[in-house]
Amino acid sequence: MTDTLLWYSTRGAGAVSMILLSAVVVLGVLSTMRVQSAAWPRFLTTGLHRNLALLTLVFLALHIVTAVVDPFTHLGWLAAVVPFSSYYRTFWLGLGTIAFELLAAIVVTSLLRGVIGQAAWRIVHWLAYASWPVAVIHGFGTGTDVLSAWFMVLAIVCVFAVALAIIIRLMQPPADPLASARNEFRVGVSRKSNP
């Protein structure tokens, strides 16, 4: 009974982690595009991005702990820390460990952002683009549910959403860092010429 519960928890928490991680990546991409409207101010995108990232960690912790303590697989804690050290599905589990460690690096640098500076934080944050496909491939490689219709639909929606966000982002012209300064200057000049 306990083994079955653990196994279902690993699978359920894995699927939820994949959905949440995809949403976090989409929101991260949207926040770099400064998407906003009257009904959706920009802080909502960044706030949701941050809070969903924290929720992802909670489900990932559940996914990993239940996988490690499951007596059927006997994974051991080393498998969760050292990539490709597991005797069980070595390659696919190794990818999961790598994805988790990339995420851990993103979390730690986000907490230390004030110390390490914006430039270093941004470089590490780019790892999110790598951790997402690695995590999805891990799920496909090792998941029990990958051939179920519900998992397929979820995975296709996740892949489609992230791919669409990245394509839209790549099609955007580069942001003008001096746009607001230029705007203020223009307003100042027009005020002076129309006293």
Residues that bind ligand HEM (CB under 6 A): 10-11, 14-15, 17-18, 21, 60, 63-64, 67, 73, 75, 79-80, 93, 96-97, 99-100, 103, 135, 138-139, 142-146, 151
Nearest C-alpha neighbor of 110 from the set 102, 122, 98: 122
Contacts of 120 (CB under 8 A, 6+ apart): 109
CB 109 within 8 A of CB 126: no
CB of 31 to ligand HEM, least distance (A): 20
Closest CA to 101 of 89, 113, 112, 109: 109
Measured from the CB atom, is 147 or 170 closer to ligand HEM?
147
Nearer to ligand HEM, 35 or 57 (CB): 57
Quote the least distance from Cβ 111 to ligand HEM, whole Å.
Answer: 18
Residue 14's contacts (CB-CB under 8 Å, 6 or more residues apart) are 63, 139, 143
For residue 125, the minimal CB distance to ligand HEM (Å) is 15
Which residue's CB is nearer to ligand HEM, number 154 or number 165? 154
Report, in Å, the least distance between residue 149 CB and ligand HEM. Answer: 12
DSSP E strands, the chain? none
Please tell me whether residue 132 adopts helix, strand or coil conformation: helix
With CB atoms as reference, the residue minimizing the distance to ligand HEM is 143
State the minimum distance, in angstroms, from the CB of residue 50 to ligand HEM. 17
Give whichever of 108 and 168 is closer to ligand HEM, judged by the CB atom: 108
Q: Which amino acid is at 194?
A: N
